[in-house]
Structure 1
Amino acid sequence: MTPHTFHDLSALRRAVRRICAAHRLPSRTGGRLVLSVAQAAGAVLRAGGPVRLEAAEQSAPGGTALLAVTLRAGEAPAPLSTADLPLPGRATPDGVAWHLPLGEPQDPSASAPRTGVPSQGGPCETATAEVYEAEIAALEGDLGAALSRVDTLTTELHRLKDELAETNSGVLALYVQLEERDEQLRRAHGQILRELEDALRPSPITVSGLEFAVHYEPADTDAPTGGDFYDWLHLPDGTVHITIVDALGHGVRSTRSALNVTHAVRTLALEGHPLESIVARTHDILVPFDPEIMATVLLARIHPETGALRLANGSHPPALLLRADGTSDYLETRGRGIGFPLPGSESVLEDTLHEGDLLVLYTDGLTESRRDPIEGEARLVKSARAHAQRPVDEIPGAVAEDMHTVILHSDDTLALAVRRAPRDAPGAKAEAGG
């Protein structure tokens, strides 16, 4: 294809604009091409030399259509300039070339390949007034400045995006570190509270003929304080006294309430007050100092030699007695707890622990994890039977594990087991199981 030769910069610009229009280049790309061709050819034309312009569609690998625009200087007295072009091109031995991707044609007539440089126009175009050329030059100067501004803004946008990505990455890393630190503090806090609460719980006791074990499980392992407490002690008359307390609420306040109840009950028991009066008297002692206190209480007295068992209750779940022969009974006795209207145990239930019998005392977190106390009591009987022959220190934890396979209502849980040892068993030891 014969390239078109130009001696005039304005004619060269018009020819490039026609190429852009004929091939439907985007205005931004077309403007850059016009400025780049004029800038590359400027030195040659001002020195009096000609330039040649050629345009043709080509196919790139993959079927992509390209517009190839080539500017050549021939034997011009000055070389073509390729530095800092608004639309960078590829330097050739005698000029510079641009390869621009083309979009889909907008009408059927535009689908045929277009080659060559459109006509330079008639005499009227070559006689363009200097004012027109001056306006064109001014517009091209404005376009160049605008494109330069666009390039600057684009570069700044990329920089800001990179900085934002780095900032987001740093914030995310800091957030992860804070989460890890918070988790460490929660665990440390929970460990301290667990150690303090363990220190407040009574030490194991040793009573010939009886075996003891207990298991406590907080609703939240990171905040192990709660209102489920127990106490056991050997009274001067030789009987064993056991207190189970479930104070309303969770956390430190409920722990304080439970401790107050167990301390008051212990004092009254050591002073020799009748079992049937202790719940009501504990209420009378504590409510004036803490009007909002509410706690359920179960009291048990066991004679180690005879197995005589006495129970008093203040709104607490009943004790489970599992006989050595596999039969079972819930030992129900009515009463109302500390902070309740008309507090006190209405009566004292009496029964007997025979050799090999297992007594299970607990709080409602054991049987109400599925929100159905009746269903929970049935499962407790089944679990106690399954584990009754194990060492006593394993029984409370094994029962709690069975009962908590599904938890719909999370609550603090306490399970305490007492077994009357058979005569041929070695001396029974009081053990606190986990």
Structure 2
Amino acid sequence: MSTVDGTLAVTLVLPGPVDQRRRNDLPLLPDAGDDSSLTWYLPGGIASSPAPADDEAATREEMLELVTRADTLTREQRELKHELAETNSGVLAMYVELEQRDEQLRQAHAVIFRELEDALRPPPPHVDDFDLAVHYAPSEPDSPTGGDLYDWFVLPDGTVHVTLVDAVGHGVTSTRHALTVTYAIRTLALEGHPLDDLIGRAARTLATIEPDLMATVLLARFDPATGDITIANGSHPRPLLLTAEGDTELLVPERVGRGVGFPDPGTGSLVHRTLAPGDVILLYTDGLTESRKNHQEGEARLLAVARGHAGKPIATIPRALAADMHDVVLHADDTVVIAIRRRPPPGS
């Protein structure tokens, strides 16, 4: 074994020759030599020179710089986390404040919309021997007024006229359309046009003014002195008669009319009834019967539910009836329910 320029030479002398095949089987192939000796040259021998002192100093400085850099990165990361936490806190506070302002704005809008609805929905007129009540519910509590509107007033001859309109669509546009139809009907009625002509005449009048307007219309006119009531229907849900004994009947015309904006608008045929004391006529929009997305099912259920309200105070019937019909709501829509009762004689 010897060293040359820091390289370790290991030589093994054997008693006999070693052929090349056996040399190839060794774990570490020796360099070429005579047949009876094997020599290996290994780098990094025992006599290699020590590292210069300058290299050790440079290594220490590099290590110190790395440690300092690591400390700096740790401090910067800590400061960044602190700043991020403060930013998140500020963003959260801003988000909460914005939510509070949005809620205040929604409440303010709801108040404005409710006041607008109250202004658009007149109180019942005073009518001798009759009681009238109404319930209105928007499709959403904070939604603007929809297309369901009503109007009632006493005509010069003493009869009472009731208009119920459901304009197609939602929001302010449908409200405007419903108002247009309502006021057109009122004007024509006060001019003295017959009941069976009002829907068709209003449709023809508005066709050029509001060509996109579509609305179902129900008109009812009753004589407080006799209890006679006449109904004109243009594509609207059929009214319901609730007798004092609790019997129910849908008032179906022989010929179905069509509403404003529909093809061939008009009344069709009128429905006539005479209300006995205690009888109630219920007028409503489709939001009452279509909450389960099935109009026929809603009508059948209304006939059954209404029986339980016979004889109850008229002021409670519209709201209670809507609550019973809306026990399951698969389709939310504006709902109007009007109840008209011929008052029973005192003491009966």
What SS class does the counterpart of residue 249 from structure 1 fall into?
Answer: coil
2:103 aligns to what?
Answer: 183
Deviation string 1:233-272 (CA, Å, 9 cap, x unpaired) is 1112221111100011111111111111111111111111
Deviation string 1:80-132 (CA, Å, 9 cap, x unpaired) is xxxxxxxxxxxxxxxxxxxxxxxxxxxxxxxxxxxxxxxxxxxx9xx996753
CA contact (8 A) 2:125 2:152 kept: yes
CA contact (8 A) 2:248 2:306 kept: no
Deviation string 1:316-345 (CA, Å, 9 cap, x unpaired) is 000000111221110112111111111011
1:423 aligns to what?
Answer: 345
2:156 aligns to what?
Answer: 236
Shift of 1:386: 1.6
Distance in 1, matches of 2:49 and 2:97, equals 72
CA contact (8 A) 2:243 2:310 kept: no
Answer yes or no: is 1:209 the counterpart of 2:134: no
Distance in 2, matches of 1:336 and 1:278, equals 12
Q: 1:384 aligns with which of 306, 309, 325?
A: 306
Distance in 1, matches of 2:71 and 2:80, equals 14
Answer yes or no: is 1:269 the counterpart of 2:189: yes
Q: 2:218 aligns with which of 273, 293, 298?
A: 298
Distance in 2, matches of 1:421 and 1:383, equals 22
Distance in 2, matches of 1:386 and 1:179, equals 44
Unaligned stretches of 5+ in structure 1?
Answer: 1-123, 427-434
1:350 aligns to what?
Answer: 272
What SS class does the counterpart of residue 366 from structure 1 fall into?
Answer: coil
Q: 1:398 aligns with which of 307, 320, 323?
A: 320
Deviation string 1:274-304 (CA, Å, 9 cap, x unpaired) is 1111001111111211111010000011111
Answer yes or no: is 1:221 the counterpart of 2:155: no
Distance in 2, matches of 1:327 and 1:197, equals 33
Shift of 1:142: 0.5
Root-mean-square deviation (CA, aligned residues, Å) is: 2.0
Shift of 1:197: 2.1
Shift of 1:425: 5.7
Deviation string 1:323-371 (CA, Å, 9 cap, x unpaired) is 1122111011211111111101111111121111111100001110110
Paired letter, 2:340 = V
Deviation string 1:194-236 (CA, Å, 9 cap, x unpaired) is 1022112223211111110000001122123111011111112
Give the count of matched residue pairs. 303
Distance in 1, matches of 2:166 and 2:310, equals 25
Distance in 1, matches of 2:286 and 2:56, equals 91
Answer yes or no: is 1:411 the counterpart of 2:342: no
What SS class does the counterpart of residue 365 from structure 1 fall into?
Answer: coil
1:318 aligns to what?
Answer: 238
Answer yes or no: is 1:364 the counterpart of 2:290: no
Distance in 1, matches of 2:52 and 2:280, equals 112
After superposition, the Cα gap between the structure-2 partners of 1:425 and 1:245, relative to the gap in structure 1 and judged at 3 Å, is: farther
Counterpart mapping for 1:21-170 below 5 A: 131-170=51-90
CA contact (8 A) 2:257 2:267 kept: yes
What SS class does the counterpart of residue 281 from structure 2 fall into?
Answer: strand
1:4 aligns to what?
Answer: none
**TM-score, normalized by length of structure 2?**
0.83
What SS class does the counterpart of residue 184 from structure 1 fall into?
Answer: helix
Q: Percent identity at matched positions?
A: 56
Paired letter, 1:382 = A
Distance in 1, matches of 2:308 and 2:63, equals 90
